[in-house]
Amino acid sequence: MGMRLIGPVYLVGGQDFNMVYLDWPANDCNTYLLNTGDPLVLMDCGCGESLPGILENLREMGLDPRDVSRVFLTHAHLPHAGAAEDLRRNGVEVVAGPATAAAVREGGIATAAYHYHRRFVRVAEVTAMAPEEEVTIGACTIRAVPLPGHSADSMGWEATCEGRRMLFCGDAVRSPAIPQHRDRLDYDGETYARTLMGLLDDPPDVLYPGHGPFCLSKTEHWIAEELRKLLGTPA
């Protein structure tokens, strides 16, 4: 069963739902459902092994997984994008920023699958959305917000629903362990800090991170804390 959060957003997947532990504490991601009525939209989709559990959660909510029209990927890392090809084969359109789209088509090092000792299933077809591009789905408008730093391709998806700006930020805020990410090829601390400072200039109303709990108000506190963690962690 999914967990209702704010507005049309539900948590339908994550490490504690499906008990898929890839590499504690960096782990299977939160998968969110935007239930705008028709169609349904997923934000990230987990590593792949957890997909049956995610779909079962939808069924327990009385929803038909065949009504999922799109999955938006925040970046190419395996815990976020590993199930994308499986969803695509079942008729779901995979949407990502341009760099993520290229990375999941290639299925190479940018997916960080090596980090989890897994193989990434390449995604045959991806719809790329450019930075700042918007799409309206049901009662929500979804905008592509570049959030580079954690990885070069990181793209947040800001959904404006019922008057609230809700940012699905992947690993740009509340990343499980910043020092551990430094061994990844496309981690860039300076860019990461600039991304966080940009978010502080105009913080969203709600933050839905790729891991851990959610920030349902006063998101500037979480963003500032992430920045402190980043700048205060010895290189």
From the CB of 208, what's the least distance to Zn ion, in Å? 15
**100 vs 219, beta carbon nearer Zn ion:** 100
Phi, psi of 222 (to 5 degrees): -70, -40
186 binds Zn ion (CB under 5 A): no
**28 vs 85, beta carbon nearer Zn ion:** 28
Contact flags string 122-161 toward Zn ion, x per CB under 5 A: ----------------------------------------
What angle, rounded to 10 degrees, do the helices at 189-201 and 219-232 form? 160
174 binds Zn ion (CB under 5 A): no
Count of positions on this chain that bind Zn ion (CB under 5 A):
2
CA-CA distance, 83 to 87, in Å (whole number)?
6
211 binds Zn ion (CB under 5 A): no
88 binds Zn ion (CB under 5 A): no
Contacts of 205 (CB under 8 A, 6+ apart): 164, 165, 166, 217, 219
- Binding segment (CB under 5 A) for Zn ion, from list 96-104, 140-148, 169-177, 226-234: 169-177
**44 vs 205, beta carbon nearer Zn ion:** 44
Phi, psi of 36 (to 5 degrees): -90, 15
| Burial class of 117 by CB neighbour count within 10 A (0 to 12, 13 to 18, 19+) | exposed
77 binds Zn ion (CB under 5 A): yes
- Asked whether 41 and 12 are in contact (CB, 8 A), the reply is no
From the CB of 174, what's the least distance to Zn ion, in Å? 11
Interacting residue ranges for Zn ion, rule: CB under 5 A: 77, 171
